[in-house]
Every structure is written in C-alpha cells, then in structure tokens.
Homo-oligomer: A and B are copies of this chain.
C-alpha cells in the first residue's frame, strides 16, 4: 500500500543525490586518467580521515535503498533534522529584515563580525542568566559545526585532544584535518593521538575521569549527541575540577540544552569556576528549527587564558575577523526574535512536541525488551543491540522497516552495538515508525 497521506514519506531529492554520491562514492573522477596532475601533495591529514563524513554517508545508503526500493515509504530518524514549522513571530522578523534591505533606511552592509550587539546581549541575558557571561563574550556564527573548526584553527598544531566515546564526529574529524589526531589504528578504529573517554551506560555515559589522561582540549557534549544523556551537576563539577587540575580547556557543546527536562545544568557556566577552563558552543538549530536558517554562537569567557596568560578570547576574535565575516543579518534578526517571551514559549511547545515523539519511541523499544537510553533530556534515544554490529543493525532496520537510523559506531568505537534514533519528525511518522518496529521486532 502506498500511503500518500503520510507526510513523513521522504523520497530523497534527486537533485541532491547526484552531487553527494559523486563526491563521496563514485570512483569515476578518481579512476579517470587525468591529463594533468598538479605537483601539490594531498594532505596526509585528509588522507587519514575515515571514509566519508557520517551523515552524507548515511544519506548515500538511504539513496541506494530508495533506488532498489523505489516504492518504499522511508521514515528518516537518522540525521537529527527539525521538521516542524518555525513560529510566525520569528519568520516575520526575518521577512521584515529582508524587506528592509530594499529601503534606504533599512539597508545594512557588513555587520560586526562577532554578531549584532543586540543579539549578543539578548543571548547573554536570556540564556546565561546568573552565570556571569556577558554579551561581549558571545560570538554569533552560522553554525556550531563551523565554530568547532574555527576553534580548531586557532589552536597550536600539537595540542592534544580528548573526546567522549561515542561523540559527534566533527570533533574527531576536525582534529584529524588539523593534524592533531595521529594515525588511525585499524584494529581499534581509534586515532592514536586522540584520547577516547569511554562513556558507559552504568555511569549515565559520563566518562571515568580517574583513568583519563590529561589533554589540552576536552570536547564534551551535554546533553550528549548521540547517547541522549545529560551530565549532572555533580558530574560537571568533576569535569571542571579535572580541567582545572590539568590546565585543560573544555569545549562544551550545549546544542541540545533546551531539551533538558530535569534539573541538569543547561550550561557549563552554571558550574563555579568554569569560565576559567571552558568555552561553550551552542546553536539555534534545534532550539528554533534553524537547521536551514543557520545561526549559532560560541561563548569565549574573558577569564580563559593560555599558559602564557594571553586571553583566548583575543585569538578567537582574530579568527572570527579573518576566517569568518559574521552570520547573515536576516538570520540574526530571526535569532533575536526567538528570544522574546512569546516566541520562546512557542518554541518550547515545539520542543515539547518532539519530546512526546521521544517518549513514543522510548516506549516502543522498551516494550520490545530492548535496552534504551537517553530521551529524557535530548531528542535522541540510544538503543543497545549487544553483540551486533551497528552498521548491520542500521541496515537491517532500513531494509526491513524502511526506517533510517544512525549506526552508533559512526560516533566512535564506543558506539558499536548501538543505533541512535532521532525523534525529530511529524507525529504520524513517529507513530508509523513505532508500528513498523513493533511488527518487526515482536
């Protein structure tokens, strides 16, 4: 039965398939005899990267599945992509800003590279109350993933890096690209120069810091992508103390902070002393459905300094001025609108909707007797398939139920045996996914 009414049925756009498959998979360009090669060597760092970036790779598998099964009614619970419309009050502000650019009074050229002052102040006041974070410590940008790379650019080449295992792949991949990851050890799937902080369910996916070696940089994401778990006050205090004792810098990714429902901290800067040891990267993407609008920010506290006492904020500012040129003024108008009381309430309702989706999916897997984690403080659930390969599970779910997930091992070797299931989606898709999963795994 081909159900036309299900708006979750996503047939990958033909327009996108072609370039993505061309670059990531097709060997035509690679195998073609090239008439002229430059004498520019390929970077060993780029060569060290494992396969394609995770999410385009999943997209390719989706597309192949659709090619083989053109009538499949695909449900995408893979890439964590928002699906619900943005409240009018926010898009009206963006439309108004766009239209103002056609007027003599409203036209604006380059804005400050760091972001509009009103937005920086609003972020500090609305999202960092009682933390001491000030507007001039907020750097507005076009995306959290972009900010991760910009931060990597300002670091000394040989700094050492730790990541949660599993973790969002951009931390590791950007470390590889900047040459600080060492060699890939095929047997473990780990880069020799990176410290992998194993995150196990027994400790709510918080790493054992007593056995973690010192590194210069600690990437730490909470609520965590992919495990869906948020670190507690006690755990984040431990993390800040650990960084302080080791002289490390924490790069704290709080992109999912708005999904926290219990009393877990929403920002690392709620922990006393964190301004001396951490930067925080966050985003409007999942808070406001801005995945396509592109707007994010990074907090770099004035208190944070290198070993020689030089403030990190000055180097970050230099990078932002040299390697970036500010976020779109239209997106920034939207970001400012998001932070009004009325808009924020509407956004909370949408996040509430996604949380109900999460509960449906959590209950589905739990009722099938599976071990499932996350979901309370994040729009992701993390399902354990002990002893199985996560790519095999991904493939089985895709082939048997036409549902796209993310194989846990894509987030690091510690994700093997798990899949991540996103609860972004229209309710009817989530219910349909639940039905298919119950039918298949019953």
For chain A, the count of residues having a C-beta within 8 Å of the partner chain is 130
How many of these chains are in the complex? 2
A218 to B349, CA, bound (A): 52
For residue A247, CB closer than 8 A to chain B, the reply is yes
Contact string against B for A residues 269-289, beta-carbon threshold 8 Å, 1 for contact and 0 otherwise: 000010011000000000001
| Residues of chain B within 8 A of A293, CB atoms compared | 101, 328-330
A128 to B149, CA, bound (A): 31
Residue of B20, B44, B292 near A109 (CB, 8 A) is B292
Residue of B30, B86, B112, B148 near A311 (CB, 8 A) is B30
| Min CB–CB distance A51 → chain B (angstroms) | 10
A243 to B, closest residue via Cβ: B38
Contact string against B for A residues 356-375, beta-carbon threshold 8 Å, 1 for contact and 0 otherwise: 00000000000000000000
| Residues of chain B within 8 A of A85, CB atoms compared | 101-104, 106-107
For residue A321, CB closer than 8 A to chain B, the reply is yes
| Min CB–CB distance A23 → chain B (angstroms) | 4
For residue A396, CB closer than 8 A to chain B, the reply is no
Determine if A146 and B30 form an interchain contact, defined as CB atoms under 8 angstroms apart: no
Contact string against B for A residues 300-341, beta-carbon threshold 8 Å, 1 for contact and 0 otherwise: 001111111111011101110111111111110010000000
For residue A248, CB closer than 8 A to chain B, the reply is yes
For residue A413, CB closer than 8 A to chain B, the reply is no
| Residues of chain B within 8 A of A99, CB atoms compared | 91-92, 95
Give the residues from 153 to 205 in chain A that come closer than 8 angstroms, CB to CB, to chain B: 153-157, 159, 169-170, 173-174, 177-179
Q: A19-B112, A29-B314, A145-B323 are in contact. List 4 more A-B contacts (CB 8 A).
A: A19-B317, A43-B154, A46-B318, A53-B322
17 contacts between A and B (CB under 8 A): A19-B112, A30-B310, A30-B311, A38-B307, A40-B217, A42-B310, A43-B154, A46-B315, A53-B322, A91-B99, A142-B294, A145-B323, A145-B325, A146-B325, A153-B153, A153-B178, A173-B322
